[in-house]
Amino acid sequence: MDDERPDVLTIGRLARRTGVAVRTLRFWSDEGAVPPVARSAGGYRLYDAESVARVELVRTLRELGLGLDDVCRVLSGRTTVAEVADAHVAALDAQIRSLKVSRAVLSTVAKRGSTVEETTLMNRLARLSAAERKQIVDEFKDEVFGGLHDTRLRDRMRTYSIELPDDPTPEQVDAWIELAELVRDPGFRTRLRTWMELNTPVPGQGRPPGASIWWARQIVQTVAEVRRGGVAPEEVAAAEVLSELFGDADRAAVLRSLEAGIEAGAERYRRLVARVRGQASSPDATKELEWLARALRTADRT
């Protein structure tokens, strides 16, 4: 039959011409994506040169991830490739976002060795809607920053954006999970509120002695240089650094502020917020702050 009708292809010849398996071609044919142009006397499916081009198009669309229903709609003229592609891009974007969240949760679970309960909580926190995430952050801000005496500082902290973008990286999702757990902790809120009160100016008074540690990063940079030089907090050179940094300020007040910030985990909070926002943050200053606290305690005993 093939020799008599070289322009007609059996399903076997179509498979050899296109490289698509007979089984797949039969399925596509049954679904209407590549219908036969005729039937042989024995009832076998017959195809032509146009069928070859149709198979190539179906294969391309399927490799791009389109379902066979969408492929058939395109081939029948009920929609266009562009329209289907646009809808498929939106679906893929949603799938990619979901996969990123899943990856971040699983990565965090692996690092922490989390229990089933912790895994469930992390997954729920990661998949909160934007409105739900905002509510968690707003409640935290109201409790920690609401009612501070310095209205400018209070308003700046309360309006400071802590939002997970629509298309977050795994690192941002991971940071959000950790941050959400942190800001929901009543103990953390209390400790951070105490720290904020110790570092917020009272009307009619100057800035608290310890506030400069947190609002002026050059103090941390100075201590970092001293540590790199091998100076221990108990050495005389450390006392000289304290004099340079704080002059005749109330050292006890400075130490209270410093210890409150360390206990609250202010550095951890700062770095998590930066990661959620996708910003490059300054290096973790925990070691420098602990060095400074030891130096202040030593100076207080001498």
195 token code pair: 């720290």
Q: What letter represents residue 243's amino acid?
A: S
DSSP 3-state of 23? helix
**Neighbouring residues of 52: CB distance < 8 A, sequence distance ≥ 6:** 9, 14, 17, 18
The pLDDT tens digits for 89-114 are: 888 887 787 788 888 888 888 888 88
CA angle in degrees (0–180, nearest 5) for 176-177-179: 60
Give the least confident one: 156-160, 178-182, 187-191, 258-262.
156-160
How far does CA 180 lie from the centroid of its chain? 12
Cα atoms in the Cβ-side hemisphere of radius 13 Å centred on 101: 21
5 touches 44 (CB < 8 A) = no
1 pLDDT above the threshold of 50: no
**Neighbouring residues of 28: CB distance < 8 A, sequence distance ≥ 6:** 34, 55, 58, 68
The pLDDT tens digits for 66-84 are: 889 988 988 888 888 888 8
> Can you tell me which residue has the tokens 């308003």?
155
296 pLDDT above the threshold of 80: yes
The pLDDT tens digits for 24-64 are: 999 999 999 999 999 988 889 999 999 999 999 999 988 88
* pTM recorded for the entire structure: 0.65
